Amino acid sequence: MNQSSILVTETFLSIQGESTHAGRLCFFIRLAGCNLKCRYCDTRYSASLTDGKAETLELLVVKAVSSDVDLVEITGGEPLTQPATIPLCEKLLDAGMTVLVETNGSMPIRELPAAVIRILDCKTPSSGESGSNLYKNYDFLTPADEIKFVISDREDYDFSRRIIREYDLAAKTRNLLFSPVWGKIEPRQLAAWMIADRPPARLQLQMHKLIWGPEKTGV
């Protein structure tokens, strides 16, 4: 496939459920294909390239602009498995949109346009993919970028705190997010640990699941 089109699982307008932009109206472009198999993945329906349909970059920009909101998120799957993600970002930025790219943290972010807000997962042990983290990415963070730690248990929590210290992440971005895995750990438990230890992070709940429930997709 050339870089004038890209494999898309779905597009939709919704309330941004995660990140520091939670609660804002956002147009989502969910791309197909992922290079990881996280145990707690909630978008398995976009894990394979065969889960996507080819759409032109121009059409996606038209859809995003026509949504009449100025925030767009490219997510997946894993967006950076498709090279056309880079020119798609450029076209959306040229159209005047604020562009978020949510990535699993295992692939290089360096080539993303500087104006893109990168939301990187740092894979914790319970994901089964903590060995896939590309820590070199942290050298290219900007203060506007975000790092999300998805936490199932105390081991994940302690791992997250260690990574923040080891890579001095609080000095690189003000947006460090601790997100409890839905159905695995009570938010109050994670909140209690954070109150006791005072990590330089904020608690993040998945707002879209609170609004529509954990099973609904396309929201």
Domain that holds residue 206: 5-212
Task: Give domain status of residue 174, yes or no.
Answer: yes
φ, ψ of residue 75 in degrees (nearest 5)? -135, -165
Q: Would you say how long the chain is, in residues? A: 219
Q: Are 34 and 81 in contact (CB under 8 A)?
A: yes
pLDDT of residue 212: 77
**Separation of alpha carbons 100 and 102, rounded Å:** 6
Residue type, 116: V
φ, ψ of residue 185 in degrees (nearest 5)? -145, 140
Task: Give domain status of residue 136, yes or no.
Answer: yes
Which CATH number fits the domain that encloses residue 73? Answer: 3.20.20.70
pLDDT of residue 27: 98
pLDDT of residue 88: 98
Task: Give domain status of residue 217, yes or no.
Answer: no
Task: Give domain status of residue 181, yes or no.
Answer: yes
Task: Give domain status of residue 89, yes or no.
Answer: yes
pLDDT of residue 1: 60
**Separation of alpha carbons 60 and 62, rounded Å:** 5
2, 36, 141, 202 from 159: Cα distances, Å: 40, 19, 20, 16
pLDDT of residue 2: 65
**Separation of alpha carbons 7 and 18, rounded Å:** 23
**Separation of alpha carbons 144 and 148, rounded Å:** 13
Task: Give domain status of residue 219, yes or no.
Answer: no
Task: Give domain status of residue 91, yes or no.
Answer: yes
**Separation of alpha carbons 105 and 123, rounded Å:** 7
Domain total of the chain: 1
Q: Are 109 and 78 in contact (CB under 8 A)?
A: no
Per-residue pLDDT tens listing for the chain (219 residues): 667 999 999 999 999 988 999 999 999 999 999 999 999 888 899 999 999 999 999 999 999 999 999 999 999 999 999 999 999 999 999 999 999 999 999 999 999 999 999 999 999 999 999 999 999 999 999 999 999 999 999 999 999 999 999 999 999 999 999 999 988 999 999 999 999 999 999 999 987 778 777 676 766
pLDDT of residue 182: 87
**Separation of alpha carbons 120 and 105, rounded Å:** 5
Peptide bond into 76 cis (omega under 30): no
pLDDT of residue 213: 72
